[in-house]
Amino acid sequence: MNLTTRILTGMGLGLLLGISINWLNQSSFMSAAIMEWIQWTLIDGVLDVIGTIFIASLKLLVVPLVFVSLVCGCSELGSNTRMGGMALRTLILYMFTTAIAISLALFMANIINPGVDMNMTTEAVFNPKSQPSLKEVLINIFPTNPIQAMAEGNMLQIIVFSILMGVAVSRCGEAGKKVSQIFNSFNEVIMKMVVILMHLAPYGVFCMLTKLFASLGFSAIADLAWYFFTVVLVLLLHGLGVYSLLLVLLTRLSPLAFFSNIRPAMLFAFSTSSSNATLPVTLNVAEKRLGVDNSVASFTLPLGATINMDGTAIMQGVATVFIAQAFSVDIGLIGYLTVILTATLASVGTAGVPGVGLITLAMVLQQVGLPVEGIALILGVDRLLDMMRTAVNVAGDSMVSTVIANHEKLLNRDLFQDLSDRDEYQPDGSLAQNREIS
């Protein structure tokens, strides 16, 4: 079975086993001694150990993933004068759309309230940390000791240091190229670690959901459905509404033509759940269907696959509100501002591989004092949502690339508006190679 099927299978088996244990416990069908043995040995023993190890593994990769990915992304900016201006505009637009995405997610989640009826409790008393003032938040973003920031897992400080180092690497000539090669190699190793961890995800899903539903029962499924459809609604609003509005305001181009042109890339992104895997198709779509010049597309799209994760930011926003409501914790206005800032900056360090958003979600939860164990509430349906948010990410990359090309006067508007023969799309002009890519 592929990874998606295995995760869905793990989710289904976890739900089934957990609900069955919950039913047996409430129906008194089995003796109290047997149920106590099951609780002590299976639920609080084996399943809790495996689930806790999986959560610890997610947290393990946060610091190296963000640091290395950010240095690699920023080191690609280069020192060319025109490239610098284009890079700045690209970064601002990517960060702007991500901030809109997370803000929209928080707004809609607070209207729908997907987790307000769950009333989750933990055995340990949960005492949320007192929120610092906005002034303290801004000051604490900048590190005095990056090594200490990494040891303590202070993500905002790590992100700032990573950006500074990446920019410095891009301006150091031959020495910078050598350092960049080292970081790129290190990045490949970390990506392999992420892939390995995601292949273990079905077992983590099974263990955590079994433990969860053994205590919650069947009622929690409805709450997961509210979370699922809240994320889907915000993805649609952002992907179709916000991107269309920005495209019209900044380029005066037709959103219908835009989405018709990028359909192959979005379908490929949906099937792979990976912005990086979709990048060759996205590049070809941008050049051959959107009319974006290669000098623009070759920079904006790879950068977008690294730093533009609007779909992931939406998931993190809705998940944060969902988990806060499920545990009956009010994170307050400062908490929501922290989520917006953290998720926006964290998207820069989020790699375009399946499931990596769960790792940065752990960071966001830690920043606002929410229990990381709350990830278990949404992990079961995350793989399905991952496909949808990857399609949104690729659409955002293509939209920004189109806007930047239009600003640089490197956009073929006639090609963009030509909608002929769209059903006969061939990525590189030949049917044979098109089949090979497919």
What is the mean predicted confidence (pLDDT) over 107-130?
Answer: 64
pLDDT at position 431: 34
Q: What is the CATH number of domain 3-437?
A: 1.10.3860.10
Q: What percent of the chain has a predicted confidence (pLDDT) above 90?
A: 14
Q: What b/e string do you get for 3-27 counting C-beta neighbours within 10 Å, with b at 16 or more?
A: bbebbbebbeebbebbbebbeebee
Average pLDDT over all residues of the chain: 77
Global pTM reads 0.64
Token readout for 106 is: 């928080």
pLDDT at position 129: 43
Residue 401: pLDDT band (50, 70, 90) is very high
Dihedral angle sign, alpha carbons of residues 93, 396, 232, 329: negative
> Domain limits of the chain?
3-437
Is residue 244 predicted with pLDDT exceeding 80? yes
pLDDT at position 378: 78
C-beta of residue 416 within 8 angstroms of C-beta of residue 402? yes
Q: What percent of the chain has a predicted confidence (pLDDT) above 70?
A: 79
